[in-house]
Amino acid sequence: MRILLACCMAMLLAVPAWAGFKGPSAETTRVETARAAADASEGTTCVLTGNIVEHLTRDRYTFKDADGSVVVNIPPHVFGALEVTPADKVRITGEVRGKRNPAHPDGHVGVRYIELVR
């Protein structure tokens, strides 16, 4: 039993800690305003700070900052327990989606992370 416990402990200690890469990146496409996000191409990373001002349908909302507005898609699991009102300033992180099919363009920002800005 002790040998099994020692093997388990050794395996746990051998696993690297969860961490992200910190260093240079080949990705240079990142936008930080709603207007730039609306004009950006598919897959562009967006880090936007502003307000969610309106619920459109299902997971779609209107996001507005000082530069303009853009439609964002925020699934319920991204909100989690966070309650957001139009008066709350938020920072959202995601990427531009829905522009691949030119016959049916549905450009929006697919949000992966949202936080309140104090």
Number of domains the chain is built from:
1
pLDDT, tens digit only, all 118 positions of the chain: 778 767 666 665 655 555 666 666 666 678 999 999 999 988 899 999 999 999 999 999 999 999 999 999 999 999 999 999 999 999 999 999 987 777 666 789 999 999 999 8
Residue 7 class from Cβ within 10 Å (0-12 exposed, 13-18 middle, 19+ buried)?
exposed
Tell me if 1 is assigned to some domain.
no
Q: Which of 98, 117, 91, 89 is nearest to 60 (CA)?
A: 98
Spatial distance between the Cα atoms of 116 and 82, rounded to a whole number of angstroms: 8
Task: Give this prediction's pTM.
Answer: 0.74
Residue 94's CATH number = 2.40.50.200
Q: How far is CA 42 from CA 3, 20, 75, 100, 114, in A?
A: 53, 24, 19, 7, 20
> Could you tell me if residue 6 is inside a domain?
no
